[in-house]
Structure 1
């Protein structure tokens, strides 16, 4: 006895002009979906409005503090520390860079102050509350002061070699 649901093995046709074989019907064991089954992307016929049509907006009811209740105190500004650092670093870096640059025109011992100004200007460039223009000026002037001071120190070292 043969299985009615098994796929029958068919022999290849001897020539291309032969008639195609019939296709087996699906078995009754397959469950059919209830209602209409549609393919993904198929058109739906249930739309009544255009997709860009106006949408009704319900009024928004916002809740807030009761105005009639006098026992509560209202909002008051805080008098304590807010935790925000209001100290600006860029102007101090610029001041240190200017002093180091002026000192580097005369002596080479302005290197420590110039290095402090470089570090402070880089730190102020990384902070979002600082003035970037002031921080850039501080960085450029402090780098110039570092180069000039190191030039003085190299010149002084060459003078000591001539004496000694």
Structure 2
């Protein structure tokens, strides 16, 4: 392909401006320059239109999904069962019961956890702590630590 040189180049065709274009030369001398024509002050009140209240009986098109339980109550119950089994054997299993009781209390405060499982976890955790305390009391009394 060859490029034409000299006067052989085609001349651009420029049509007249359409009626919706403002053809005044001084209308936009510089970008952002004030051209006048404000209808109201920038802080003037704006007209408020009244709207009707939405109908509450409208059919439900979308609803958020029901949050699923994350299983904190189940974990608390599992830990409390382990703590109870350990406290039946040795007295030093009370930290497991404490962790189970604290986890059950946290599960009770969460809205989507199973309350029955969390209450069972709390009860079994506290029983394991009491049983461990009994073991520790027995061991301390046999060692004559209480006089």
TM-score by length of 2: 0.51
What is the number of residues matched between the two proteins? 81
CA RMSD of aligned residues (A): 2.2
SS in 1 for 2:92: coil
What CA distance in whole angstroms lies between the structure 2 residues aligned with 1:86 and 1:105? 31
The correspondence of residues 1-164 of structure 1 with structure 2, limited to 5 A, is: 87-161=70-144
Q: Runs in 1 of length 4+ with deviation above 6 angstroms?
A: none
Once residues 147 and 86 of structure 1 are traced to their aligned partners in structure 2, the CA distance between those partners, rounded to angstroms, is: 29
- Tell which structure's C-alpha radius of gyration is larger: 1
Identify unmatched segments of 5+ residues in structure 1.
Answer: 1-59, 61-83
Structure in which a larger fraction of residues adopt helix:
2
Structure 2 segments unaligned to the other structure (5+ residues):
1-54, 56-66
| Aligned-residue offset at 1:106 | 1.0
Distance in 2 of aligned mates of 1:155 and 1:85: 44
Q: Note the C-alpha offset of 1:90.
A: 0.3
Name the TM-score, length of structure 1 as normaliser. 0.46
1:87 deviates by: 2.7
